[in-house]
Amino acid sequence: MQVLIFDDKKAVAENAATLLQKLILAKSNANIGLATGSTPIDLYKQLVSLYKNQQISFAQVNTFNLDEYYDIDENNSNSYRYFMNSQLFDHIDIDKNNTYLPTCNAKQDPRKQGEHFEQQIAALGGLDLQLLGIGGNGHIGFNEPSSSFASRTRIKSLTEQTVSDNSRMFSADEQQPKMAMTMGIATIMDAKYVLLIATGKNKAQAVNAMVNGPLSASCPASILQMHKNVIVMIDSDAASLLANKDYFTWVSQQNHTINEIYGQFPDL
Ligand code: F6R
């Protein structure tokens, strides 16, 4: 796990955008897993500006979102489809037919829909990179604490904490979904690269549990310790509980030199 600590959330967004730009330059038809939530918004703004400055093209890119609320209309402003369109897809040259979310409506069988999403990923050759945020409780996607490390795309009931964290997005008269479809932990672990971004003091505890273990289903993100290519980009607030900050800074300087010489994505 490479842990890169930046001064503020702006630097996290800029550096995460640069990494995705390098990925697309290395593989123009990359399959990229995307996340919603507050944390990636600045990153998506950076990607839009790289596109507008003709420094990146998404024309051949495929995207697979981590999750989507169960039985939500894509035109509902709280749906993750709506979020992705308005934050990113509407502003870049991506073909929306190449943007996938794990959807399921009330008439569909969630198990079949989960399998279908897994097949869509496999049919295009698997995920090259999965972008993740992290929940205050250590969740990744909607894989809440106690989720199986072997899980695949499926329907999940959200924890009270996640429902409450996300309630800020819903107005009082709106029915807030309590279930969602999510990529599984094993699906995420199959990605060749994982980029996790986290900012703010409210993520410090989860980040420390993820980085310094123990490996436990009570912190789903801790499984990332077992992944070969994980890059964690965090601001100093999210890093505030890490005991080994100086070590991570030292290592990242050395890795930077190696990556400059030998390339950032040897396993693509
Ligand atoms: C979003 C997702 C979630 C978020 C996490 C952090 O697609 O799967 O795991 O990444 O809840 O959310 P924010 O960034 O809003 O703090």
Q: Ligand 1: which of 134, 159, 167 to mutate, judged by most atoms within 8 Å of the beta carbon?
A: 134
pLDDT score of 148: 97
Residue 253: pLDDT over 90: no
pLDDT score of 169: 80
Answer yes or no: is the C-beta of 35 below 6 A from any ligand 1 atom. Answer: yes
- Average pLDDT of the residues of the chain: 95
- Which tokens in the block code for residue 157? 């009931």
68: annotated active-site residue: no
pLDDT score of 175: 80
pLDDT score of 196: 98
Note the pTM of the prediction, 2 decimals: 0.96
Q: What is the three-state SS of 31-87? A: EEEECCCCCCHHHHHHHHHHHHCCCCCCCCCEEEECEEECCCCCCCCCCHHHHHHHH
Give the pLDDT band of residue 263 (cuts 50, 70, 90): confident
The residue length of the chain stands at: 268
The closest residue, in CA terms, to atom 1 on ligand 1 is 36
Tell me the pLDDT tens digit for each residue of 30-88: 999 999 999 999 999 999 999 999 999 999 999 999 999 999 999 999 999 999 999 99
CA distance 31 to 127: 5
Q: Is the distance from CB of 222 to CB of 210 less than 8 angstroms?
A: yes
The more confidently predicted of residues 23 and 262 is: 23
- Rounded to the nearest angstrom, the distance between the alpha carbon of 163 and the centre of ligand 1 is 12
Q: Is the distance from CB of 34 to CB of 191 less than 8 angstroms?
A: no
Backbone angles phi, psi at 198, to 5 degrees: -150, 140
Please state, in angstroms and as integers, the Cα–Cα distance from residue 114 to each residue in 26, 38, 119, 181, following that order: 30, 25, 9, 8
Q: Which entry of 137, 143, 166, 208 is annotated as an active-site residue? A: 137
CA distance 42 to 233: 13
The closest residue, in CA terms, to atom 12 on ligand 1 is 37
pLDDT score of 162: 80
Tell me the pLDDT tens digit for each residue of 152-200: 999 999 888 888 888 888 887 788 889 999 999 999 999 999 999 999 9
| Percent of the chain surpassing pLDDT 90 | 86
Tell me the pLDDT tens digit for each residue of 83-136: 999 999 999 999 999 999 999 999 999 999 999 999 999 999 999 999 999 999
Which residue reads 């420094």 in tokens?
55
Tell me the pLDDT tens digit for each residue of 211-240: 999 999 999 999 999 999 999 999 999 999
Tell me the pLDDT tens digit for each residue of 1-19: 999 999 999 999 999 999 9
To 5 degrees, how large is the angle CA 242–CA 248–CA 254?
Answer: 175
In terms of Cβ atoms closer than 10 Å to its own Cβ (0-12, 13-18, 19+), residue 255 is: middle
CA distance 96 to 93: 9
